[in-house]
Structure 1
Amino acid sequence: MSDDGSTTVLLVDDESALVSLYSAYLEGRYEVRTATDGEEALSIADESVDVALLDRRMPGMNGREVLRELRAAEIGCRVAMLTAVEPTTDIVDMPFDDYRTKPVEESELIGLVEVLVERASYDERSQEFFALASKKAALEVAGETSTDAYEALCEDIESVRTDLDGHLDAVGAEAAFSDLA
């Protein structure tokens, strides 16, 4: 979140009518920046962006390429792919935080932004866990569960969950004995 407490959302979609609609949903709650192509999105993306909502399929630079460039530029925003493209196992290696298939209603879009803003306060390993869980859920909804990539994703989730559980156990033990120190 920005230093002044406001949240900045970057909304990127090549359908200008959809950009207008989603922008109307979000304005008044968040500072909204809009772009109708990938190059424009990258020209207005900076460290003040908290959440980016990216369409996957755009002419020129697609959402996957925009995502790659945001990560390469080390812009630390949370990213959701907001797209009409049904997910396949190609999403497993994409470094986004959530995946939603359009269309989305106003309450779903606002809820998505709120969840992503909340996740930004989590430690890196917890953020990784939720990003992996989002990919797993998207693949399950799409019926893409009979692949090696899906199985590897499930294994990654278990590994991260085990690490998090171990960390929570250690923190709990420290807290339990902190009065004795």
Structure 2
Amino acid sequence: MADEYTVLTAHSGTEALEKVSPDVDVVLLDRRMPGLSGDDVLETIREREIDCRVVMVTAISPGTDILDLPFDDYLVKPVSRDDIRDAVSRMLVRASYDDTIQELVAIVSKMATLESMMTLSEMEASSRYTALTERFADLRAEIDVPGSDTELYSEFSTEKIDGVFG
């Protein structure tokens, strides 16, 4: 990846926060980092209003706790070098979207991530998952994208589902 992008490496959450700046386009975070957790680093990045895309790359299986995290994508280890390259490429494309589309795509990523790890009954029982699907519907109503909600969801989540099952 260093041959395609300028790559900065941090070995702790504190070091990551020292290196992240408005010049950074994509951040890859592990939820389990020495010192500050990846969740804390993510929260600080958003508090600082650094406009970068964030991909969580972690061995922690996602649960509804991810609904509170303002990330753009979630990859569960093990991941390949190609998975990382693909995620970075997707994030660079997403950076060109307007704020509403970026939020919509991030929500679809969360939905697809949860759907790959939770049973249907767990999702139906989760008021937080229901709220997420309602936010998706609200955002979908705000934008003018051809096709039905199902087609839009399928279009935006295909890359995520391919990553989980592909």
Fold equivalence (TM over 0.5): yes
Corresponding residue to 1:92 among 63, 67, 87: 67
Aligned-pair CA distance for 1:60:
2.0
Counterpart residue number, 2:22? 47
d(CA) in 2 for partners of 1:114, 1:145: 30
> As a proportion of its length, which structure holds more strand?
1
Corresponding residue to 1:149 among 128, 146, 151: 128
- 1:81-109 deviations in whole A, cap 9, x for unaligned? 11000001011121110111011112111
1:150-169 alignment to 2 at 5 Å?
150-165=129-144, 168=145
d(CA) in 2 for partners of 1:80, 1:109: 9
Deviant stretches of 4+, over 4 Å = none
CA contact (8 A) 2:11 2:34 kept: no
d(CA) in 1 for partners of 2:18, 2:32: 19
1:28-177 alignment to 2 at 5 Å?
28-143=3-118, 145-146=123-124, 147-165=126-144, 168=145
- Structure 1: give runs of 5+ residues left out of the alignment: 1-25, 170-181
What secondary structure sits across from 2:16 in the alignment?
helix
TM-score, L = length of structure 1: 0.76
Q: Which amino acid aligns with 1:155?
A: E
Aligned-pair CA distance for 1:27:
1.2
d(CA) in 1 for partners of 2:68, 2:140: 18
TM-score, L = length of structure 2: 0.82
Quick one: percent identity of the two aligned structures? 46
What secondary structure sits across from 1:86 in the alignment?
coil
Number of matched pairs: 142
What secondary structure sits across from 1:34 in the alignment?
coil
Aligned-pair CA distance for 1:157:
0.6
> How well do the aligned residues superpose, as a CA RMSD in angstroms?
1.2
Q: Which amino acid aligns with 2:37?
A: N
CA contact (8 A) 2:28 2:57 kept: yes
Q: Which amino acid aligns with 1:145?
A: M
d(CA) in 2 for partners of 1:28, 1:57: 27
- 1:23-47 deviations in whole A, cap 9, x for unaligned? xxx1101100000110000001111
Aligned-pair CA distance for 1:62:
0.2
Q: Which amino acid aligns with 2:103?
A: E
